[in-house]
Amino acid sequence: MNADNRYYWPHKDLLDVTQLSGMDTLHLLDLAASFQEINRRPLKKVPTLKGKTVVLFFVENSTRTKTSFDVAAKRLSADTYSLTKSGSSLNKGESLKDTALTLQAMGPDVIVMRHASSGAAAYLAKGLSCAVVNGGDGWHAHPTQALLDCFSLREAWEGRFAGRTLLILGDIAHSRVARSNVHLFSMLGTRVRLCAPRTLLPAGVENWPVEIFSDLSRAARNVDAVMCLRLQLERQQVRLLPDLAEYSRRYCLGSAHLAMAGTDVKVLHPGPLNRGLEIADDIADAPASLVLNQVAAGVSTRMAVLYLLATRRDGKPT
């Protein structure tokens, strides 16, 4: 494991990829690659964070993010404690601030938080001395998902982001994953395209550093990777699509679309997958699919995040 302490990690918290520089990002990805080697060993555990405590504070439902943070912390020998809204005093009317202060009094080193309200993690971080990781807040940001997506494609693209083209397909309007990925990949020199019905594009998207398409056949031409997004019907306050069958016909990624892409195109999906609606069944399981690579990358990347935050003291890494 190459945990290079000579690098100055300047961040107390990880709230959004917008706070990261290119050097921050590449250092974190290099560190994640070191941890990935640990995850391939027969005994997948090191004492790196022994004695540290990580609280998983998930007010919103999660499977992949919560589990991978839990696995990541345990593989670094940290102690983990889980808290959900139904199992906390938030369910009794306690404010988020008071719940956070209660948690801090227990002395955690890192709190990983998912919340339905945009800005909730940043609000928490302002009042707490321990590190806070945003595990997803509303439609706003999901930094560790973007980092693991970046890690997965860096491996597939042999470390070269500049000159590549990434297509993000689907429900852009309600996707914190899309927002974080657009910023991170653009910063690293990747051209980003978006493809969605007009009703599933966010306000102000014309000011993003992207090309916008409504026709998937055109959007998929000569791309190096396609990231499909889940159609988030639960976040839509009004019905934005007249017919799901029509959406699937026009925006479900299939083999015909991949034939228009680059010769070694890769396919990603942050999950959970709605097969036949966002991505064809055979494409989800095809050799081009990096879906399971993303899951594995999630553990390694989150190990790197926890290490950097839990070992940082007084503005300098230990």
For 217, the 3-state DSSP assignment is: helix
The answer to whether 52 is annotated as binding is no
* Residue among 262, 249, 180, 263 nearest 215 (CA): 249
The answer to whether 239 is annotated as binding is no
| Whether 66 contacts 298, CB under 8 Å | no
> Residue 51: which region, alpha, beta or left (left: phi > 0; alpha: psi -120 to 50)?
left
Buried-exposed string 14-47: b where 16+ CB fall within 10 A, e elsewhere? bbbbeebeeebbbbbbbbbbbbbebbeeeeeebe
Single-letter amino acid, residue 103: L
The answer to whether 65 is annotated as binding is yes
Single-letter amino acid, residue 25: T
| Whether 55 contacts 49, CB under 8 Å | no
The answer to whether 230 is annotated as binding is yes
Q: Cα–Cα distance between 16 and 143 in angstroms, integer?
A: 5
- What lies within 8 Å, CB to CB, of 240 at 6+ separation is 173, 197, 199, 200
Q: Concatenate the DSSP letters of all residues of 27-80 into one string.
A: HHHHHHHHHHHHHTSSS----TTTT-EEEEEESS--SHHHHHHHHHHHHTT-EE
Q: Cα–Cα distance between 175 and 140 in angstroms, integer?
A: 8
Dig out the tokens for 27 from the structure.
Answer: 């250092």
The answer to whether 221 is annotated as binding is no
Q: Cα–Cα distance between 198 and 214 in angstroms, integer?
A: 7
Q: In whole angstroms, how large is the CA radius of gyration of the chain?
A: 19
Q: Cα–Cα distance between 82 and 93 in angstroms, integer?
A: 19
The answer to whether 64 is annotated as binding is yes
Q: Cα–Cα distance between 64 and 38 in angstroms, integer?
A: 20
The answer to whether 266 is annotated as binding is no
Residue with tokens 């966010």: 202
Annotated binding site for carbamoyl phosphate: 64-65, 114, 142, 145, 271-272
Annotated binding site for L-aspartate: 92, 176, 230
Binding site listing: 64-65, 92, 114, 142, 145, 176, 230, 271-272
